[in-house]
Amino acid sequence: MTNAYKIAILEGDGIGPEIMTQAIRIFDVIQSSCDVAFELTKTPFGAGAYFEHGKAFPDETKQVCDEADAILKGPVGLSHEESKKIPVEEQPERGAILPLRARFNTFANFRPILLSKDMVHFSPLKPEIIENGIDILLIRELVGGLYFGEKERGIDENGLRYVKETLEYNEQQVRQVLVVAFDQARQRKKRLHNIHKSNVLMSSVFWNEILDEVHKDYQDIEVVHLLVDAAATALCLNPGQFDVMVMENMFGDILSDQAGGILGSLGLMPSACIGPDKAYFEPSHGSAPDIAGQNIANPYSMIGSVAMMLEMSFNMRSESQAVWTAMKSVFESGYSTADLSTSSDTTQLVSTVVFGDMVVAHLEKLLST
Ligand code: IPM
Ligand code: MN
């Protein structure tokens, strides 16, 4: 019997719709050459949804997501100035993304930091540092910490305005993401970098205690402890030392953008947000309103998010691999999108649509053999 999957499509803002158009073509190619059917439902989400429906995450979208087997989400958000036209609590980061993460308890965020040998010229790092490419899996806790802790603003006894934001975790929240990270380490190089700030933060002392408990079930895994500030330096000086990294929400937000920097562009980082019952997939980058509608955005992270969905939600490993290979082939043939080009390289620039055309052509060939 043909497997049939329902997928909620949240295009988002800025470059979201144009890169999503390219990602959707991947589902078409796969269902025309494999025994699988995808039912895609587009539904509003983000700043556009707020202006049209009064909510950044409308009820209708919640329902489509509830009924979907998996969710594919584009980037959301507006420029700093445009954002001010939306009430703070409905601005899409707070009004849409965080509620989406909370709704499906997507506690484990997988961010692959991957640069094949043939793509190392995109990195700003010296060739001798990354001659073998980069292959790191960053796992970020996604539904706790400062992002979701209690927040308060007010006026103190001295008449001064103040703000208070709390970093909260319970042991179950920490344990569940560590278990995911240890499992990944076991499938990879059996080395786990634990990123923390236990020299200052009580939350890191707590995190590390839970880690020691979980480690007892994973004695085959070597744990390397590294302070988050030192990790930032190490990512630049010697990224090859890392295989799987795990960290709390805010640390992961910052270090994953830095990781995008060592790849050459955040345009090269898809991600998977995994909960107990459902997962959603999204590029790690923003909606780039400054280049929206110009057909120059890099659709790699959006298409890579489809590849991650195929593997992680539908267990379609070989098809997922074919999507990665197809994208790599485009770069290996000497093409790139504008975000990756530097004045000194010799790659030929292609548009969003042409990048999509090339991926589709490679993919069709791969799936037909
Ligand atoms: C990310 C983004 C989000 C985050 C924003 C858009 C809420 O930067 O996914 O990394 O901070 O988690
Ligand atoms: Mn971020």
Selecting among 197, 218, 243, 300, the annotated active-site residue is 197
Confidence band for 191, pLDDT divided at 50, 70 and 90? very high
Strand runs labelled E in 166-295: 191-196, 222-227, 244-247, 270-274, 279-283
Q: Do 276 and 66 meet the contact criterion of CB atoms below 8 Å apart?
A: no
Q: Is 204 helix (H, G, I), strand (E, B) or coil?
A: helix
Q: Which atom of ligand 1 is nearest to the CA of 97?
A: 7
DSSP state for residue 347 in the 8-state scheme = P
Q: Which residues line ligand 1 (CB under 6 A)?
A: 93, 97, 253, 284
Quick: pLDDT tens for 98-129. 999 999 999 999 999 999 998 999 999 999 99
> Max CA-CA distance within the chain?
74
Query: Does residue 30 surpass a pLDDT of 90?
Result: yes
Confidence band for 2, pLDDT divided at 50, 70 and 90? confident
Mean pLDDT of 44-59: 97
Annotation says 28 is catalytic: no
353: how many CB neighbours lie within 10 A of its CB? 14
Annotation says 229 is catalytic: yes
> Where does residue 222 rank: exposed (0-12), middle (13-18), buried (19+ CB within 10 A)?
middle
Query: Does residue 345 surpass a pLDDT of 70?
Result: no
- The protein residue whose alpha carbon is closest to atom 4 in ligand 1 is 253
Q: Which of 110, 145, 158, 119 is nearest to 309 (CA)?
A: 110
pTM of the model: 0.96
What distance in Å separates the CA atoms of residue 284 and residue 277, rounded to the nearest whole number?
Answer: 22
Q: Do 27 and 5 meet the contact criterion of CB atoms below 8 Å apart?
A: no
Mean pLDDT of 358-367: 98
Quick: pLDDT tens for 285-336. 999 999 999 999 999 999 999 999 999 999 999 999 999 999 999 999 999 9
Least distant ligand from the CA of 271: 1
CA of 97 to the centre of ligand 1 (A): 8
> Residue 136 forms beta bridges with which residues?
113
pLDDT at position 37: 98
Q: Six-digit token pair at 254? A: 């910052």
Angle at 97 between CA 61 and CA 293, to 5 degrees: 80
- The protein residue whose alpha carbon is closest to atom 9 in ligand 1 is 284
CA of 253 to the centre of ligand 1 (A): 6
Mutating to test ligand 1, I would choose from 10, 93, 273 the residue with most ligand atoms within 8 A of its C-beta, which is: 93
Annotation says 147 is catalytic: yes
Q: Do 106 and 177 meet the contact criterion of CB atoms below 8 Å apart?
A: no
What distance in Å separates the CA atoms of residue 179 and residue 362, rounded to the nearest whole number?
Answer: 36
Selecting among 13, 243, 253, 339, the annotated active-site residue is 253
